[in-house]
Copies of this chain bind each other. A is one copy, B any other.
Amino acid sequence: MANILILGAGVMGTALAVPASDNGHAVVLAGTPLDDAVVAHMQASGGTHPKLDAPLPGTVRVIADAEMTAQDTDRADLIVVGVSSPGIAWAVDRLNGLLRRETTVAFVTKGLDRKDGAVVTFAETVPERVSRLGTFIGIGGPCIARELALRLPTASVYAARDKADAERAATLFRTPYYRLAASDDLTGVEACAALKNFFAIGVSAMQTRYPDARRADGQSKNPTAAAFTQAVHEMATLCERIGGARSTAFDLAGLGDLHVTVGGGRNSRLGHSLGRDRTVEEAMAQDLANETVEGIDTARVVASLLGAVRLQANGRDAVEFPLAQAIIDAVLGNALFDFDFEDLPTPANAS
């Protein structure tokens, strides 16, 4: 039995308590200050998160931010940071205040960052911000939290610089319904987990851009399948530029997570609006009022990665990343989404 401390009682942090607890580990789930109401609800309701359908196993201890002490971190064999990207500063502060020895920390939080002029992942910037962070574990792959909490079959990948560390962490969480691969491409897993939000906007836009009234879901299929393929290839090249392995984009953290992100969630809903010829400003004012769309932040970083930021589509220049460029033009330039297949390169079949 191990002791696992999860920081953040959002849906993903909470869902990870299920396999950890099913494996017989002692799990403490600590909310952020923003989670106080959720924590109170869970404490009063026998562990049912308001956005999840199933209660947590009774062995999970749910506490509010104010209740968490250094004893909780002292005991922890592994800490999970389960906050979304705006919460990373809170997690860094809390870890710096509480950690009294080097501890392994697994991050669900994803985002791209800049460091010394280069685009990097949290795996390159967070460790130096947390003084006693032992091993950094990145968690990627196609996982909707609600489905994991329901114990539906889910596959994910745990990554660390040393694959043995990744496998050690994965062993704590792996169950018959939560199948975990281990990878030493930490940067690649982190990069793909952030990039998939960005590309999901573009692929989802193709789902609504060419409607097909003869299908139950109203969507044509050829444009989306082509855009999905193009997205995976552009993600592979960008992953490589960030320092990850191409192959990671062709596995769970890349095409797998992109698959699950298209058609569900806020990035996809933004894409669906763009596909219906709304601008990003219109979409954010209407369908997505008061919501954070992580793929928009990623778009800013991808734009700097591409070098030439064309904020408006001005003519049909040959571009190396036609789908990324179309997303950037729409999301940062507030232009209509226009992914023209004439911009597709005539590529070799090599991936």
Residue of A163, A188, A212 contacting most chain B CB atoms (<10 Å): A212
A117 interfacial by beta-carbon distance below 8 Å: no
Write out the residue numbers on chain B whose beta carbons fall within 8 Å of the beta carbon of A248. 349
Q: Do A188 and B349 contact each other (CB < 8 Å), given the known contacts A152-B223, A223-B153, A341-B179?
A: yes
A228 interfacial by beta-carbon distance below 8 Å: yes
For the complex formed, measure the closest distance between the CB of A341 and the CB atoms of chain B, giving whole angstroms: 4
For the complex formed, measure the closest distance between the CB of A19 and the CB atoms of chain B, giving whole angstroms: 12
For the complex formed, measure the closest distance between the CB of A196 and the CB atoms of chain B, giving whole angstroms: 11
Write out the residue numbers on chain B whose beta carbons fall within 8 Å of the beta carbon of A340. 176
Residue of A181, A229, A256, A259 contacting most chain B CB atoms (<10 Å): A229
Pick the contact of A250: B141, B157, B176, B250 (CB < 8 A): B250
Write out the residue numbers on chain B whose beta carbons fall within 8 Å of the beta carbon of A170. 346
Contact between chains at B250 and A142 (CB < 8 Å): no
A183 interfacial by beta-carbon distance below 8 Å: yes
Pick the contact of A255: B142, B167, B229 (CB < 8 A): B229
Whose C-beta in chain B lies nearest to the C-beta of A180? B346
Write out the residue numbers on chain B whose beta carbons fall within 8 Å of the beta carbon of A252. 226, 229, 349
A143 interfacial by beta-carbon distance below 8 Å: yes
Contact between chains at A221 and B142 (CB < 8 Å): yes
Pick the contact of A177: B142, B189, B212, B341 (CB < 8 A): B341
Pick the contact of A147: B144, B217, B221, B263 (CB < 8 A): B221
Write out the residue numbers on chain B whose beta carbons fall within 8 Å of the beta carbon of A349. 157, 159, 181, 183-185, 188-189, 245, 247-248, 251-253
A165 interfacial by beta-carbon distance below 8 Å: no
Write out the residue numbers on chain B whose beta carbons fall within 8 Å of the beta carbon of A167. 346
A315 interfacial by beta-carbon distance below 8 Å: no
In the complex the two chains form, what is the Cα distance from A183 to B256 in whole Å?
25
Write out the residue numbers on chain B whose beta carbons fall within 8 Å of the beta carbon of A321. none
Within A240-290, the residues touching B (CB, 8 Å) are 245, 247-248, 250-253, 255-257, 259-260, 263-264
A342 interfacial by beta-carbon distance below 8 Å: yes
In the complex the two chains form, what is the Cα distance from A348 to B251 in whole Å?
10
Contact between chains at A210 and B256 (CB < 8 Å): no
Contact between chains at B144 and A257 (CB < 8 Å): no
For the complex formed, measure the closest distance between the CB of A69 and the CB atoms of chain B, giving whole angstroms: 35
Contact between chains at A182 and B221 (CB < 8 Å): no
Residue of A220, A222, A259, A341 contacting most chain B CB atoms (<10 Å): A222
* 4 shortest interchain CB distances as A-B pairs: A142-B225, A155-B226, A183-B349, A229-B256
